[in-house]
């Protein structure tokens, strides 16, 4: 199979487009023919091996897993003997960050627990765009942010991968949404469901009179004190970035009965993924796709995302991937049968 491989940490220049043997699924895994994958900032960090705290799990001196790409959508072509939820021909999607990634390839083996069925009406590219960014937004708003209908939420970074999901999900959860983005993305934020849009090139959201029940932050560009001054007295602040000041100060603020402020780490979750699949199917959630790259141009796709101004998600598609039924050669059930 064709795959994008890295053997050493570095810039996108270290990526090679090469041919490898197809993976063999373990008993609890399925083999997926990848129809689309999407890029996350996490791929950029693992490519560079930075920050250094990723290295204990990613490989101290060189990458443990040679193929990046956590988010995939595709068609099951073989199943391990312990797999109960899927069979060849099923269209699935999921986040493989807990099992070594591998999505920037024509085939990937994935634990069945990481996957959900892709609703037939949802395009593969939309499904591939959703797992990491969508689940992060959902957990940030609902689990950590405890967002309730009628509350005021501000989404900082409303035009990025996570932010475009957050604006839509917050609106779906019944909140009144203020989105912060740059001028070129203002109209898009309104279309996604924001009630108010703040163009950060014109206005500083930390200086306004509005107080928010929840600030969901994906940028981390302000100080804890600045975020706090626009939080309601019992409000919550959740950031997907890491603010070192919060690691100590967050629990201290909570003990004093003030607002809750926390760094969050999303966890792949099958139920959250299935919830998002429902929203996608009902068209209450539509991923924003900025660009689509062929697999052999994954390095360019990563450069684009790494620059930090993608508008929604960036998709990678293997050549000839079209989402049709698996070929006869792949319609086999036992991992030992794989070439």
Q: 292 and 317 in contact (C-beta within 8 Å)?
A: yes
Nearest distance from residue 273's CB to ligand NAP, in Å?
14
The dihedral over CA atoms of 38, 72, 283, 177, expressed in degrees to the nearest 10, equals: -50
Alpha-carbon distance of 196 to 92, in angstroms, equals 35
Q: 62 and 7 in contact (C-beta within 8 Å)?
A: yes
**321: nearest Cα among 115, 108, 113:** 108
293 binds ligand NAP (CB under 6 A): no
Alpha-carbon distance of 311 to 160, in angstroms, equals 5
DSSP string, 108-165: EEEEGGGEEEPPTTS-HHHHHHSHHHHHHHHIIIIIIS---TT-EEEEETTTSHHHHH
Exactly one of 37, 38, 40, 188 binds ligand NAP (CB under 6 A); that residue is 40
Nearest distance from residue 201's CB to ligand NAP, in Å?
8
Exactly one of 38, 97, 99, 136 binds ligand NAP (CB under 6 A); that residue is 136
Interface positions, 179-208, toward ligand NAP (CB under 6 A)? 180-182, 185, 200
17 binds ligand NAP (CB under 6 A): no
Exactly one of 4, 31, 68, 162 binds ligand NAP (CB under 6 A); that residue is 162
* Part of the chain binding ligand NAP (CB under 6 A), chosen from 28-36, 216-224, 250-258, 316-324: 216-224
Map residue 193 onto helix, strand or coil: coil
* Part of the chain binding ligand NAP (CB under 6 A), chosen from 281-289, 294-302, 306-314, 328-336: 306-314
Exactly one of 265, 274, 325, 333 binds ligand NAP (CB under 6 A); that residue is 265
156 binds ligand NAP (CB under 6 A): yes
- Which residues here bind ligand NAP, judged by CB under 6 A? 40-41, 132-133, 136, 156-157, 159-163, 180-182, 185, 200, 218-219, 221, 240-241, 264-266, 305, 308-311
């Amino acid at each position: 199979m064709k795959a994008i491989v890295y053997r050493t940490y570095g810039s996108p220049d270290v990526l090679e487009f090469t041919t490898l043997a197809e993976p063999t699924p373990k008993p609890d895994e399925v083999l997926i023919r990848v129809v689309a994958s999407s890029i996350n900032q996490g791929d950029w960090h693992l490519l560079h091996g930075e920050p250094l705290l990723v290295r204990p799990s990613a490989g101290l001196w060189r990458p443990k897993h040679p193929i990046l790409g956590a988010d995939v959508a595709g068609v099951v072509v073989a199943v391990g003997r312990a797999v109960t939820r899927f069979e060849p021909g099923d269209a699935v999607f999921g986040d493989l960050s807990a099992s070594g990634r591998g999505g920037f390839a024509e085939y990937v083996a994935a634990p069945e627990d990481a996957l959900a069925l892709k609703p037939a009406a949802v395009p593969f590219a939309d499904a591939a765009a959703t797992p990491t960014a969508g689940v992060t937004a959902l957990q940030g708003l609902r689990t950590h942010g405890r967002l309730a209908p009628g509350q005021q939420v501000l989404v900082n970074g409303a035009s990025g991968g996570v932010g475009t999901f957050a604006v839509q999900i917050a609106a779906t959860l019944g909140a009144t949404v203020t989105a912060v983005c740059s001028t070129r993305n203002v109209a898009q934020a309104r279309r996604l469901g924001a009630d108010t849009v703040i163009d950060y090139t014109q206005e500083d959201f930390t200086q306004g009179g509005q107080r928010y029940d929840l600030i969901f932050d994906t940028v981390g560009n302000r100080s804890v004190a600045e975020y706090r001054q626009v939080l309601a007295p019992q409000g919550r602040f959740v950031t997907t970035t890491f603010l070192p000041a919060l690691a100590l100060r967050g629990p201290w603020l909570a003990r004093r009965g003030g607002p809750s402020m926390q760094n969050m780490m999303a966890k792949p979750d099958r139920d959250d993924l299935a919830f998002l699949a429902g929203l996608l199917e009902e068209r209450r959630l539509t991923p924003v796709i900025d660009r689509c790259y062929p697999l052999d141009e994954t390095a360019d796709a990563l450069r684009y995302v790494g620059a930090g101004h993608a508008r929604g998600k960036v998709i990678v598609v293997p050549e000839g991937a079209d989402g049709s039924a698996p070929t006869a050669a792949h319609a086999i059930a036992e991992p030992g049968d794989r070439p």
